[in-house]
């Protein structure tokens, strides 16, 4: 079986590498010549643990290849996967499908024999149908089916999510396509991964419903964290207390600075639009979006409060710019809003992140970029942890105390224990848990 993967972004590259790991021949297609040349030479354009080794092994075995020649790859493929970007359209929250339509047209021109065309990108309900219409219009002679096969992988653990998924969702309307898709996922089938076959529209909606539900859990727990702060309760115990109820589940109940990344913000906004366009407004998802936007905007105020109400002229160490650990992705990261606010309020901001600084440098000005967490803390009035990278979990607290002007730590990811921080002599402010003073001052 031969697969052509159109688009070598996150989903495209990871999926292609993993399918080739299953033993399938995959050709990755991208129109950006430089990207393809880089991939052929073994340069992986994104940071994702394990991806470089997987790409290298499968490239060496010849199962994974890269090209800019879409026509050639598509004409030889049994399955063509569309994994092009669907960013938020400017101004209105709709997913921008221009790349999808352009890819569908190019694919239409190139298919030969019976071909299954699969959407891997997150696309609004009905997109599969429209792709089908485009191809039929351009190539009335073509023999094809369109399938929706959304991806549920997370950045930072994408390989594991792909190779050991909770489920696979496949939306289709033809037995012939079902046969091919079953063969494609055979290695997972053997491992007893649930594979859910639905119609195309349902599969498209499952993707949005999954992401918005997870985002809802996060906005919900963030609101409960606010309540904990005013009531003097502890959000981590609340999350555990509700999460152990199997109907609720423990995952995605970590309170924090709000969700970011290339998926939740975009997909929640898109679902709001889809619901409105179909005269079925989603009040819940609307609120999720609003709660998250407000939250990101409010976070810098907590740092100001920790500095007795003013940060003008003060020095602030910021640890973390990526929207989560184990990625170099900074898209819609809460850290960006926080850093910008701090700069506007007159602070001297010193930033460190293990992987995200290259990208961040191109969009953030007026900060000092540091090469270690400790360097950022030299003579700072306060240190703030915004992304929970592992290397921030075991910082040398004694060293930090010597570096900082004042022992103030603001932890937006709750990775330290308040009692321990108090013992170590810190003013420690976290999310949804009581603030603590240095033990000596109690
Ligand atoms: C998300 C979904 O988790 C994947 O299943 C999906 O495939 C992917 O979007 C996508 O649509 O492509 P991802 O954006 O990589 O994956 O990252 P997540 O781990 O879901 O985190 C998203 C944001 O939520 C991060 O900013 C993270 O810090 C935040 N988050 C997550 C919390 O604040 N609390 C939590 O408990 C969990």
pLDDT at 313: 97
243, 262, 290 - which closes a domain: 290
pLDDT at 441: 57
Mean pLDDT along residues 246-256: 98
Residue 80 is assigned to a structural domain of this protein: yes
Give 83 Cα–ligand 1 centroid separation in angstroms. Answer: 19
Number of structural domains (the chain) is: 3
Query: What CATH code is carried by the domain that includes residue 147?
Result: 3.40.50.720
Range of the domain at 22: 2-198
Active site residue 370: no
User: If residue 240 lies in a helix (H) or strand (E), which one and from where to where?
Assistant: helix 235-243
- Residues 11 and 147 occupy one common structural domain: yes
- Residues 268 and 328 occupy one common structural domain: no
Mean pLDDT along residues 236-265: 97
The 10s digit of each residue's pLDDT in 385-415 is 999 999 999 999 999 999 999 999 999 999 9
Question: Quick one: DSSP state of residue 234?
Answer: -
Give yes or no for residue 189 CB within 6 A of ligand 1. Answer: no
pLDDT at 315: 98
pLDDT at 76: 97
Query: What CATH code is carried by the domain that includes residue 215?
Result: 1.10.1040.10
Query: pLDDT-derived band of residue 94, with 50, 70 and 90 as boundaries?
Result: confident
Measured in Å, how far apart are the chain's first and last C-alpha atoms?
Answer: 69
230, 264, 290 - which closes a domain: 290
Query: Which of 219, 222, 236 is CA-nearest to residue 433?
Result: 236
Mutate to test the pocket of ligand 1, among 260, 321, 324 (most ligand atoms within 8 A of CB): 324
Give yes or no for residue 239 CB within 6 A of ligand 1. Answer: no
**Structure token digits, residue 263:** 């998926």
Query: pLDDT-derived band of residue 189, with 50, 70 and 90 as boundaries?
Result: confident
Mean pLDDT along residues 204-232: 97
Task: Please state the separation of Cα 236 from the chain's center in Å.
Answer: 23
Mean pLDDT along residues 319-323: 98
Give 264 Cα–ligand 1 centroid separation in angstroms. Answer: 7
Residue 213 is assigned to a structural domain of this protein: yes
- Residues 107 and 182 occupy one common structural domain: yes
The number of the ligand 1 atom at minimal distance from the alpha carbon of 154 is 15
Residue 188 is assigned to a structural domain of this protein: yes
Query: Distance between CA 240 and CA 147 in Å, rounded?
Result: 39
- Residues 250 and 107 occupy one common structural domain: no
Residue 82 is assigned to a structural domain of this protein: yes
Percent above pLDDT 70 for the chain: 100
The pTM (predicted TM-score) of the whole model is 0.94
- Residues 34 and 180 occupy one common structural domain: yes
Give yes or no for residue 122 CB within 6 A of ligand 1. Answer: yes
Distances (CA, A) of 272 to 120, 163, 242, 262, 439: 21, 31, 27, 16, 48
Question: Is pLDDT at 111 greater than 80 in this prediction?
Answer: yes
Residue 30 is assigned to a structural domain of this protein: yes
pLDDT at 276: 95
Nearest CA to ligand 1 atom 16: 154
pLDDT at 414: 98
Mean pLDDT along residues 17-33: 96
Question: Is pLDDT at 82 greater than 80 in this prediction?
Answer: yes
- Residues 255 and 352 occupy one common structural domain: no
Give 265 Cα–ligand 1 centroid separation in angstroms. Answer: 10
Query: pLDDT-derived band of residue 89, with 50, 70 and 90 as boundaries?
Result: confident
Catalytic pick among 28, 228, 263, 370: 263
260, 290, 320 - which closes a domain: 290
- Residues 116 and 230 occupy one common structural domain: no
Residue 107 is assigned to a structural domain of this protein: yes
Question: Quick one: DSSP state of residue 22?
Answer: T
- Residues 56 and 90 occupy one common structural domain: yes
Mean pLDDT along residues 95-112: 94
Mean pLDDT along residues 129-138: 96
Q: Under a CB-based contact definition with an 8 Å cutoff, are residues 5 and 26 in contact?
A: yes
- Residues 181 and 241 occupy one common structural domain: no
Residue 203 is assigned to a structural domain of this protein: no
The number of the ligand 1 atom at minimal distance from the alpha carbon of 222 is 33
Question: Is pLDDT at 442 greater than 90 in this prediction?
Answer: no
Least confident residue range of 10-14, 163-167, 188-192:
188-192
- Residues 81 and 224 occupy one common structural domain: no
Question: Is pLDDT at 437 greater than 80 in this prediction?
Answer: yes
**Structure token digits, residue 438:** 């240095």
- Residues 27 and 154 occupy one common structural domain: yes
pLDDT at 86: 86
Residue 320 is assigned to a structural domain of this protein: yes
| Angle (CA) 333 389 393, round 5° | 135
- Residues 312 and 402 occupy one common structural domain: yes
**Structure token digits, residue 209:** 């419903």
């Amino acid at each position: 079986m031969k697969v052509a993967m159109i688009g070598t972004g996150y989903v495209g590259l990871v999926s292609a590498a993993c399918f080739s790991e299953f033993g399938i021949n995959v050709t990755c297609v991208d129109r950006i010549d430089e990207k393809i040349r880089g991939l052929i030479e073994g340069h992986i354009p994104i940071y994702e643990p394990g991806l470089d080794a997987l790409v290298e092994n499968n490239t060496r075995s010849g199962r994974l290849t890269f090209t800019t020649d879409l026509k050639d790859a598509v004409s030889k493929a049994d399955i063509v996967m569309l994994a092009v970007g669907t960013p938020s359209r400017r101004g209105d929250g709709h997913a921008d499908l221009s790349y999808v339509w352009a890819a569908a047209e190019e694919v239409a021109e190139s298919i030969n024999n019976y071909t299954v065309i699969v959407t891997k990108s997150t696309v609004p309900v009905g997109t599969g149908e429209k792709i089908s219409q485009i191809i039929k219009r351009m190539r009335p002679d073509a023999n094809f089916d369109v399938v929706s096969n959304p991806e549920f992988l997370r950045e930072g653990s994408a390989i594991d999510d792909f190779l050991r998924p909770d489920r696979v969702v496949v939306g289709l309307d033809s037995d012939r396509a079902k046969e091919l898709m079953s063969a494609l996922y055979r290695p997972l089938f053997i491992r007893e991964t649930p594979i859910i076959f639905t119609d195309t529209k349902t599969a498209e909606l499952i993707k949005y419903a999954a992401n918005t539900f997870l985002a809802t859990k996060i906005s919900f727990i963030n609101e409960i964290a606010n309540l904990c702060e005013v009531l003097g309760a502890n959000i981590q115990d609340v999350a555990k207390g509700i999460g152990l109820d199997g109907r609720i589940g423990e995952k995605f109940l970590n309170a924090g600075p709000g969700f970011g990344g290339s998926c939740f913000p975009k997909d929640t906004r898109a679902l709001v639009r889809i619901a409105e366009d179909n005269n079925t407004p989603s009040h819940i998802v609307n609120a999720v979006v609003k709660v998250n936007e407000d939250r990101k905007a409010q976070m810098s105020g907590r740092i100001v409060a920790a500095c007795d109400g003013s940060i003008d002229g003060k020095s602030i160490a910021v640890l973390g710019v990526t929207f989560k650990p184990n990625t170099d992705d900074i898209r819609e990261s809460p850290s960006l809003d926080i850093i910008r606010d701090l700069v506007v309020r007159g602070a001297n901001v010193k930033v460190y992140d293990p992987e995200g600084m290259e990208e961040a440098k191109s969009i953030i000005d007026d900060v000092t970029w540091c090469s270690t967490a400790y360097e950022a803390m030299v003579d700072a009035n306060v240190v703030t942890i915004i992304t929970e990278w592992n290397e921030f979990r075991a910082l040398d607290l004694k060293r930090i105390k010597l570096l900082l002007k004042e022992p103030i730590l603001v932890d937006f990811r709750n990775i330290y224990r308040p009692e321990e921080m108090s013992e170590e002599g810190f003013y420690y402010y976290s999310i949804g848990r009581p603030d603590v003073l240095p033990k000596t001052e109690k």
